[in-house]
Amino acid sequence: MRPLLRPPRLAPGARVAVVAPSGPVPEERLQAGLDVLRGWDLDPVVAPHVLGRHREFDYLAATDAQRAADLQNAWCDPAVAAVLCARGGYGAQRMLDLLDWEAMRAAGPKVFAGFSDITVLHQAFATRLGLVTLYGPAAAGVDFLKHGRAQEHLRATLFDPESVRTVTAVSPGGTALVPGRARGVTLGGCLSLLASDLGTPHALPGARGGLLLIEDVGESPYRVDRYLTQLLRTGWLDGVAGLVLGSWAACGPYEELRAVLADRLGGLGVPVVEEFGFGHGEGALTMPLGVPAELDATAGTLTFDAPALS
């Protein structure tokens, strides 16, 4: 893992594009999210198909080509300073290969933010564009709209990233599964997406030398076991420097899940901190990917060498 290029931070009045690379977005949630962004003195613009729905597959916001065009056009618009995903769901993998990465690279560095299904795009932005991205709340996400902590941490990261160079576990249980300190470049996202993206052209080749951030939602303990075992058996986790575990909403009784995490990750011999507070849980924190950092699993802190945005 190597440090990636940090995009410029946002300033008041910046234009931000809202896109839906995956699932459909309810209009009332979109409007509420736009109101939050306008309250930050941003100028949000909505891509043409954010409120669309695929004719056959109602779990997609629009056709693959339409969703890809929305993302690419937003990224390549010189007036747009950031591209924010409206939600996750499913579908980013279907449109990924339709993007013109040369054109997007020529458009220069910008802020990109989203989570969950957007994990595959975070990986592609790292491998194809070499850019730091933000694994954080979706602009029309339920948690983002109802939880001030999620809003404030994303706002601080976008406008004043120095103020959040040290991220502290929000849960009182955010303590060491395996104590210790580690240094590396952050990577990761939603565990099931990392597992399903293995071997694809845009995926990171492995976590060696990195601090891996993982979380998930709605996956029973045996399925989490399956995903972690797959990453272990492929060698993708070989040489990882440390792990930061986020939320595991609706993933079964936590003590049962915790036993799986300890069993599958404890043998790596690296620091592991749990219940860190990013992902699908309430008040989710925004986590920069591609930035060198130090993990103190015992203290429950992740301290970045530099602000996420330049």
What residues are labeled active site?
116, 215, 280
Contacts of residues 124-128 at CB distance under 8 Å and 24 or more positions apart, as own/partner, are: 124/96, 124/99, 124/202, 126/4, 126/187, 126/204, 126/289, 126/290, 127/202, 127/203, 127/204, 128/101, 128/104, 128/202
Residue type, 307: P
**Nearest residue to 290 (alpha-carbon basis) of 166, 196, 184:** 184
Q: Could you identify the residue written with the tokens 């592991």?
A: 272
The answer to whether the beta carbons of residues 150 and 143 sit under 8 Å apart is yes
Find the length of the chain. Answer: 310
Strands of the sheet containing 272-273, edge to edge, are 166-168, 301-304, 292-296, 181-190, 210-217, 242-249, 272-273, 176-178
SS3 content of the chain, % helix, strand, coil (to 5): 35, 25, 45
Output Rg (C-alpha) for the chain, integer angstroms: 18
Other CB atoms within 10 A of residue 155 CB: 18
Residue type, 189: G
Phi, psi of 34 (to 5 degrees): -65, -35
Other CB atoms within 10 A of residue 258 CB: 17
Beta bridge partners of 218: none
The answer to whether the beta carbons of residues 260 and 175 sit under 8 Å apart is no
